[in-house]
Amino acid sequence: MNVLACIKRVPNTGAKIVLTDDNQRIDASNLGFTMSPHEECVIEEAIQQADAHGGSAHVLTLGPEEATEQLRTGLAMQADEASLLETDGSEWGPRATADAIANVVREMAEDGTEFDLLLLGNESADAANYQVGVRVARELGLPCVTGIKSLEVEGDTAIAGREIAGGEEIYEIDLPAVITVKEGINEPRYASMRAKMRARNMEIDRREPVGTAGAGSLEKVRLETPETDDSAAEILGEGPEAVPEIVEILESEVSVV
């Protein structure tokens, strides 16, 4: 079973988000980049499913040359192959991105690599558009289910679970299919130093993305860090000596005692 794991390079955030002077993007010069948390699980799931059912796990991203860093993270985790849909670094919207992914999936099928399962994150950490997976599926005519936190493949059927209040709703869908996952579906492995070294020299397939957005548009104008109340907390004291003050607050201020 061949599995495609789609990921997105996003800035690390840390304790405070700092924007570039033009308010167009996050200043990542200090903290660098990572991938969306859901997508570490996307890669892990792709590897586990490919291992369990025989086949390969292929990591794909659309982004600038620097996004090879995230692809190599996937390779170090033991994904078999990686492809970069190389952009000039400008932000691609969800519709053009979905179109580009669908196009490359078709292209790879023509070249003999067909995917039984396409995995994406439920939503990206940065833009959270919640739609790339659905749009890819519809363009390829595949069934799709989103927000999945448990997945088993039996034969040609995926048994996928989504959390709801008080339990889980279960979907049974025929493969090939597109499934978007949430963090918690598995525990992503840490790559060993040796695996990281090996991944550094692995070849990455590079292609030019071809994607269009269709009618209408959603265009970013600028970003803004919302105003927050950053007045420092009232310091109740140091160490255990502050316990009476804590009890006082629990009793009178929030009435939970």
Partner 1 sequence: MILALVEHERGLPAEASLEALTLARELASVEGTDLDAAAFGGDGSALADELGTYGVDTLHHVDHDDLDGYAPEAWGESLGQLVEEIDAGTVVVPSTDRGHEVAAHAGVTLDAPMATNCVAVEVDDAGAYELERHRWGGSLLEHARLTGDRKVISAAEHEFPVTPADEATAPTVTEFTPSLEADHLRVRVDRVEASDEEGIPLGEARVVVGGGRGVGGAEEYDQLEELADLLGGTVGASRAAINDGWRPHDDQIGQTGAKISPDIYIACGISGAVQHMVGCKGAETILAINTDPEAAIIQKADWAVVGDLHEVVPELNDALRDSA
Interface of this chain with partner 1, residues 188 to 227, rule: CB under 8 A:
213-226
Binding span for partner 1 by CB under 8 A among 46-54, 58-66, 111-119, 124-132: 124-132
72 versus 182: smaller Cβ distance to partner 1: 182
Other CB atoms within a 10 A radius of the CB of residue 68 amount to 18
Q: From the list 65, 114, 197, 237, which residue makes contact with partner 1 (rule: CB under 8 A)?
A: 237
Cα(238)–Cα(88) distance, rounded to whole angstroms?
51
CB of 101 to partner 1, least distance (A): 14
The only residue of 51, 69, 113, 134 in contact with partner 1, by rule CB under 8 A:
134
**Residue 22 interacting with partner 1 (CB under 8 A):** no
Tell me whether residue 197 or residue 236 sits nearer to partner 1 (CB atom).
Answer: 236
We find the least distance from the C-beta atom of residue 56 to partner 1, in angstroms, to be 26
Work out whether 252 is an interface residue with partner 1 (CB under 8 A).
Answer: no
Closest residue by Cα to residue 176 from 151, 144, 150, 149: 144
Closer to partner 1 at the Cβ: 30 or 201? 30
Per rule CB under 8 A, count of chain residues that contact partner 1? 86
CB atoms within 10 A of CB 252: 9
- Smallest separation, CB 151 to partner 1 (Å): 14
Applying CB under 8 A, which part among 60-68, 78-86, 163-171, 193-201 lies near partner 1? 163-171
Please, what is the minimum distance in Å from the beta carbon of residue 79 to partner 1?
20
58-97 residues in contact with partner 1 (CB under 8 A) are 93-95
Which parts of 54-175 fold into alpha helices (H)? 68-76, 94-110, 132-140
Which residues ranging from 31 to 50 are in contact with partner 1 (CB under 8 A)?
37-38
Per CB under 8 A, does 27 bind partner 1?
no
Angle between helices 94-110 and 132-140 (to 10 degrees): 40
Scan residues 2-21 and list those touching partner 1 (CB under 8 A).
Answer: 13-17
Over the range 103-134, which residues count as b (16 or more CB within 10 Å of their CB) and which as e?
A: bbbeebeeeeeebbbbbbbbbbbebeeebbbb
138 interacts with partner 1 by CB under 8 A: yes
Count CB atoms within 10 A of the CB of residue 7.
Answer: 29
Q: Which one of the spans 61-69, 76-84, 136-144, 191-199 is the region binding partner 1 (CB under 8 A)? A: 136-144
Tokens 């860093």, located at residue: 69
Alpha-carbon distances, residue 22 vs 19, 171, 227 (angstroms):
8, 45, 18
CA angle 123/131/87 to nearest 5° reads 80
The least CB distance from residue 91 to partner 1, in Å, is 10
Residues with Cβ within 8 Å of residue 240, at least 6 apart in sequence:
none
Q: Which amino acid is at 251?
A: E
Closest approach of partner 1 to the CB of residue 89, in Å = 18
